[in-house]
Amino acid sequence: MKFFVDTAEIDAIRELAATGLLDGVTTNPSLIAKSGRDFMEVTAEICKLVDGPVSAEVVALDHETMMKEAEVLRKIADNVCIKVPLTVDGLKTCKALASDGTMVNVTLCFSANQALLAAKAGASFISPFVGRHDDNGFDGMELIEDIRLIYDNYDFATEILVASVRHTTHVLQAAKIGADVMTAPPAVIHALFKHVLTDKGIEGFMADWAKTGQSIL
């Protein structure tokens, strides 16, 4: 499963990129606002930090203006992936960009039928929001299972990008279902490293090593 980080915070991206575990980055208008940075400028910086896809979202609601915005965004770098909402205009834009060989991430997906539409429109990625699905009394992971089944039934190449990931259990469940990608905030990715027994084990080894009075260097 590929790991994307869901943030526009440069320092957090740089730190995770250094682990070699980062396959891409996702942003959205809320994350850009949170960063307080200029959209074009911060997106260009992010694109230099990772080789994989960096999702940059259009903000227009009509197809024509979305295409104009996409034209500007895709000039930022070769690894920009244009993010469009799951609407009629968004999928028209997806179809047009995909036919042109541009990577497209279709976002704000909350049903398996919506995911089917995005795949038919040639999306590179579909972003089902599991956390927000859970928040509203649905089962986010059941949605991922349904999309996996449908995409496998028809051999769609669209990658399932599990988004709105809130905790490490979401990551585990996504991997068990066979999602292609997950995008999570930096804190959730850092939490994946943690285990109380790992910390305890290090503590024990360090204490015993100190008793030997030796050093490696």
Catalytic residues, by residue number, are 83
Q: What is the 3-state secondary structure (H, E, C) of the chain?
A: CEEEEECCCHHHHHHHHCCCCCCEEECCHHHHHHHCCCHHHHHHHHHHHCCCCEEEECCCCCHHHHHHHHHHHHCCCCCEEEEEECCHHHHHHHHHHHHCCCCEEEEEECCHHHHHHHHHCCCCEEEEEHHHHHHCCCCHHHHHHHHHHHHHHCCCCCEEEEECCCCHHHHHHHHHHCCCEEEECHHHHHHHHCCHHHHHHHHHHHHHHHHHCCCCC
CB of 84 to ligand G3P, least distance (A): 14
Which residues inside 122-141 make contact with ligand G3P, applying CB under 6 A?
Answer: 129, 131-132
CB of 46 vs ligand G3P, minimal distance in Å: 14
User: Cβ closer to ligand G3P: 102 or 107?
Assistant: 107
Regarding 6 and contact with ligand G3P (CB under 6 A), the answer is yes
Q: Does 26 bind ligand G3P (CB under 6 A)?
A: yes
Least spacing, CB of residue 28 vs ligand G3P, in Å: 5
Q: Which is nearer to ligand G3P, 27 or 93 (CB)?
A: 27
Q: Does 183 bind ligand G3P (CB under 6 A)?
A: yes
Q: Interface residues for ligand G3P in 155-174 (CB under 6 A)?
A: 163-164
Q: Among residues 99 and 112, whose Cβ is nearest to ligand G3P?
A: 112
Residues making contact with ligand G3P (CB under 6 A): 6, 26, 28, 129, 131-132, 163-164, 183
